[in-house]
Amino acid sequence: MRSFRPFTALLALLLTAGSAGSAAADVRAGEWVSYRDAYRSMVMFEKYGGPKNLLQNQLEVQPREHGVSLDGVQLVLAGKANQLNLPLDPLGRAVFPLQKAAYDENAALLLNHKGLTFSLRPQVTIAPRADGVYDSAELRAACAQALGYARYVDASQRGRQCVGVRFVFPKKSDVGARVRRGDGREHPLAVASGPAFAGDADDGFQVVNYRFGPDGERAQVTAYDAPLAIVPVFE
């Protein structure tokens, strides 16, 4: 198998229900997707010259049929001589390999389940912390970086502002988070069921929304469990 360099940045900008949506256009297709088109959509983030050290970017598989489960599904990079299986995380995202050979031959990206039609969407999210503790100032900075990139690829985002972040946790799990304000007050954040990203079906992920307070307010958010994604929220 030919060696490859993983593209380790990931992203999610939700545009509906108060969340920011993917700023880059979907890579649309039927039962297969052009590797070259997916490559171009992902390399845009890599070439972006603005601050992005607090962000991650990854490709999300979106089935075109409503209600289709991705359990057991993998994204497959199928070239003339080689095939590479790309596992999906619980949100349907895969680490995208940058392969010159696959680009030159315009290899196909398809799913290992025949008959499934799908599209690919770049998703940019905020990088999680190993200790699960997030300072509000750092979350604001990360959200600002995501908004800067969103405005870079989509001029319609220029009228939006960062208002908070959304923690996405596994389905049917006992999760949560709490916030401690600068004055010492502490309280849990509400947990709801919802979709991970804009345009996705409501698959019952557990989500916690944290809205920023007034400018300059000090606060700290602690997640009880590792989130699948931390999504910047724009309004």
pLDDT mean over 210-217: 88
Question: How big is the chain, counted in residues?
Answer: 235
pLDDT at 141: 97
What values do phi and psi take at 184, rounded to 5? 95, -10
pLDDT mean over 163-173: 92
pLDDT at 24: 55
C-alpha distances (whole Å) from 213 to each of 4, 18, 151, 216, 233 are 43, 16, 23, 8, 14
pLDDT mean over 140-162: 94
pLDDT at 25: 57
How far is the C-alpha of 119 from the C-alpha of 109, rounded, in Å? 10
In 65-199, where do the E strands start and end? Answer: 74-78, 83-87, 93-94, 96-98, 108-111, 118-126, 133-135, 162-171, 177-181, 186-188, 191-194
Query: What is this structure's pTM?
Result: 0.84
Res. 30: pLDDT tops 80: no
Contact (CB, 8 A) for 204 and 172: yes
Among the residue ranges 57-71, 98-112, 145-159, 167-181, the one predicted with the least confidence is: 57-71
